[in-house]
A = this chain, B = another copy of it.
């Protein structure tokens, strides 16, 4: 499957609206997680894989190619993976999820 990008038809939407492309991109397994872990610091392939609880190397590779293609991630000279400016902005956009997740946890405790 092609990397979802704004301006192009995407799985689940033919309009190419940026938001829909983003929802497709981030709706792929491990994608959110990878962005999350890379924000902490630059990581090599195998280290990143460990941070993601030993996710499949083939899928990790696939996601990294997609994220690089989408401009969120790039490789350093030492072939470490880092977030680009765009990638860091994406992380910032995702940050409110943390506090929400905590409220979520609290809400589910009352059952």
Contacts and interface: CB of A to CB of B under 8 A. Distances in A.
B89 A100 contact: yes
Nearest to A15: B53
- Tell me the interface secondary structure of chain A in the complex: helix
Given A12-B52, A28-B27, A105-B7, A97 B22 contact: yes
A33 B22 contact: no
Contacts of A86: 103-104, 107
Most buried by B among A21, A26, A52, A104: A104
Contact of A6 (B12, B18, B31, B101): B101
Nearest to A91: B100
A108 interface: yes
Given A23-B32, A90-B100, A93-B96, 5 more contacts: A27-B30, A27-B33, A89-B100, A90-B104, A94-B97
